[in-house]
Amino acid sequence: MKPTLIVLLIAVVATVGAYIVGTQRKTPPSSLTKVTVQLSWLVNSNQAGFIVAQKKGFYAEEGLDVTNASGGPDFPSIVLVASGAADFGVESGAESILLAKQNDIPIKAVAILDRKSPYVFFSKKSTGIASPKDFEGKTVAVSYGRPLEIVYRALIKKENVATSTVREVKKNPAIASLFGGSVDVQPGFISDFIFAEVAGRKDGVELNALYPADYGIDSYGYTIFTTDLFIEKHPDIVQKYVRATLRGWQYAFDYPEEAVDIVASEMQGTVDKEAELQALKTRAEYVLPQITGETLGWMDGAKWQTMQDTLLEQELISKPINIRDVYTNQFLGR
């Protein structure tokens, strides 16, 4: 079965022929250059660095007036950036960039956040789900049209899961669907697992976690991208945006309590600051460089190649592309 994201991207190709990003940029009345960013998901600690960079004035110091547009299933960042509705986008998984490039959508990654795969599939311990094969006969929530769906498809195909026995349903972000038993497996980021664990402890529910990376499905997580043309026309804006954004993420990890307070002020509804704080601290292990000399945001061509090889092996893409066309490190220090 093709991931619905692939179908979506193919459909988008026909709509971006009149590709106009950056060609008619006008100088705003203020001294700051207006920039719109399409985030990957709803505002929570997963978006901390972007929110912190805005609220602490890091973008303004670079001469940018940045608007962070909240994401979600109805706001596909690749579509919105490719069509010119946003200048930059954030994808929750780098696989989407590969799919877009294969389908001739002219975008390019300019920085990554999660240098190791942040994906996890979790379940109640009582279900006994300990491996992908245990998905058989179970109800699995799927993030249709999202990078996590691609990872899910690759994982179950690689592990020879009998898909005819798996009941797939659309993912509901609310953890109640898992706790209530309407689904057996919930997909998400490591942060989502932390949120669920905190809630589970309060309700007396123990959880199991299954990491695709343990089965050879490894990839970059949050990926910041823009269009090829925007890079060509406005390299100075790209440089300033990337620098301020990474500064925001570093600040969020250095001062997590303050960062959570900033993010919480932007969130809707009741906020569990304990869970948000724990999730942000855990996310640091996935984002911050672990090797001396590595730079926050830096991308490795070999890692991109590994992701592409996995997609090719699992027939999730049909042809290889030049990895050097997928990303650039030119806006990152070393």
Per residue in 70-123, pLDDT (tens digit) is 887 667 899 999 999 999 999 989 999 999 999 999 999 999 999 988 999 999
Please name every residue paired with 112 in a beta bridge, in sequence order, or none if there are none: 223
Under a CB-based contact definition with an 8 Å cutoff, are residues 64 and 101 in contact?
A: no
The 207-210 sheet, strands edge to edge = 186-189, 119-124, 207-210
CA atoms within 13 A on the CB side of 242: 26
Residues 6+ apart with CB under 8 A from 221: 92, 93, 94, 112, 113, 114, 116, 117, 118, 119, 189, 286
pLDDT score for 24: 38
The angle subtended at Cα 172 by Cα 168 and Cα 176, nearest 5°, is 110
Its pTM surpasses 0.75: yes
pLDDT-derived band of residue 14, with 50, 70 and 90 as boundaries?
Answer: very low
CA distance 225 to 111: 7
**Whether pLDDT at 127 is above 80:** yes
* Amino acid, res. 53: A
Structural domains for the chain: 4-116+219-325 (3.40.190.10), 119-215 (3.40.190.10)
